[in-house]
Amino acid sequence: MRVAAQEIANALKARYGIAKSLIEVDAYIRQYVEHGKAQLIIAGEKVDLKAIIRQALNSLATRTVDLVQDTWLRCACSRAGRGGRA
């Protein structure tokens, strides 16, 4: 989750010019997961963070799946090189 939190913090800095700690961003992620929404008030206006959070979590999920697939393939190729035995 740290990777997703960092991605969200970077997006908030780039889009709105605000710096949030990873602890603060983690709270927004938890709000989104638990309640389906997360908002931030910037200059007196509510900003919906749903899209930013969803994008970061989807990116994290994709990276995780890619890592698992790559690891699985390396293991399978390694076993195949030893005659299929583990």
pLDDT at 74 (0 to 100): 78
Q: Residue 82: phi, psi to the nearest 5?
A: -105, 25
CA gap 59, 65 in Å, rounded: 10
Structure pTM? Answer: 0.73
Per-residue pLDDT tens over the stretch 14-62: 999 999 999 999 999 999 999 999 999 999 999 999 999 999 999 988 8
Per-residue pLDDT tens over the stretch 65-83: 878 888 887 787 777 666 5
